[in-house]
Every structure is written in structure tokens, then in C-alpha cells.
Amino acid sequence: MEQLPVPVRKFTGESRVVDVNRVFDWLQRGWLLFMAEPAQWLLMTLVLIVIMLVLSLIPLLGNLLAILLTPVFVAGMLYVAQRVDDEQDPTFESMFVGFSQKPISLMILGALYTAANLIIMLVLFLIVGGAIFSGAMRGDMTGVGMAIGSVLVAFVLSIILFVPVMMAMWFAPALVFFEDASPIDAIKASFSACWKNIVPFIVYGLLMFIASIVAALPFMLGFLVLLPIIFGSMLASYKDIFASQS
């Protein structure tokens, strides 16, 4: 296996603030990286989607296993993007590099990500489930209103709770894989960097939300293109905010 594309050095966690216009540069870079090797990207993305679907079909633990392995696969796809960026051949094996380089640290990230998701889902279940049970016990329109209101509250609360988790995880796989950061240091640095660049990431999130709706229209096939662009833009944002500090 080739050496890491970014030399290993002492991780400081330092990040910089970028202008909101950089978001469009990230997305443009993601598109260019996709267009440089479209066939390879389509194949690897299809394989990744199939793997995640198969994992999700495993009874009881399938979805948790998929979440656990997410940072491992993200690191692999970022490595693919790095190879394309370096004008090297992105071999099929590259997408699985997270299983051979930094696998323990990446899986610890996955475990923390899984735990965060479980806590959030438990909180939402208690809110929605409790309100629906109380509404059903009343058996009147007030009870129906309570149930509907709890769903709306849960939706808003899910956004409030999931956004910090995404901020903590956005750069974490790249920082563990490329910078040799510990999982905890990577999470703290990722959250800090996203917080310092909250406006660019709000814009990025809104653009990705719109793009996801468009990608879902043709039988979800648009995600075969959107996911590589996301991985490419993720690498670009990492380099812009972190790698430039080296």
C-alpha cells in the first residue's frame, strides 16, 4: 500500500477561517475530481452503496454496523479523492484502505458516532413515544394534537441534535487518516473548525440538501454522482481549512 498522501506530522488541531465563497470552490473541486475518473467513481460509489444496503439488511445490528464502519469507508473514499487529486490511478482497493491504515482509530470514531446516534434516537423516541401514548390515552382531538405536536418537536430537535454531531464528524475521518490525530482530538478539532466556519457550512449544507432532493428524483441514481462530489468537496474543505496550516 502506498504511503499516506499527506506526510504524518504532529497534529495541532489548528484550523483557519475561510470566506463563504470557498464553498463553491469545494464543490467545483469535487466535480472536477469526479470528472477526472468518472468510471472509477461510479463503480466505487455503487459498491459502497451496495455494501451499506447489505449491512442494513442484517437483523438488529445491521444499521449499527453500517454507522460503525462509516468513518472507515469515508477515509477510503477521501483517499481515492486524494489519489485522483494527485493524478494517480484510483485503484479499486483504495476505497478499502481504511481497513488497513488507522482501522482502530477510525472504528473508534465509528463507535462514538454510533453512540451519539443511539442517544439522539432514544431522546426522540421518548419524546414522540411518550406524547403519542399520552394522546392515545386521552382519545380525543386534544390527544391527536399532542401527537402531531410531538412529531414536529421531534423533527426540530433532531436537527438541533444531529447538526453538532455532523460538525464533530465532518473532518474527523480525514484528520485521523491523514493527520494521525487521535479520535477525540479529531472530533474536537472538527467541531471547532466547523464552528469557526459556521456560515460556509450552513451554505454548504443548504446546497447539499437541495442537491440531495434532485439526486433522489431519478430513482436515487443521482447519488452515484452526488456522493463522489461530496467526497471530493470534503477533501477540498479539509485541505482548505486544515492542510494549509502545515
The string of DSSP letters for 49-86 reads: HHHHHHHHTSTTTHHHHHHHHHHHHHHHHHHHHHHHHT
What cell was used for 100? 488497513
Q: Given this model, what pLDDT does residue 12 score? A: 81
pLDDT of res. 156? 83
Q: pTM to 2 decimals?
A: 0.87
Contact 132, 181 (CB under 8 A): no
pLDDT band, very low/low/confident/very high, at 139 (cuts 50, 70, 90) = low
Q: pLDDT averaged over the chain?
A: 88
Q: How far is CA 20 from CA 30, 114, 204, 224, 243, in A?
A: 16, 31, 9, 27, 18
Are 23 and 200 within 8 A, CB to CB?
yes
Residue 57 has pLDDT above 60, yes or no: yes
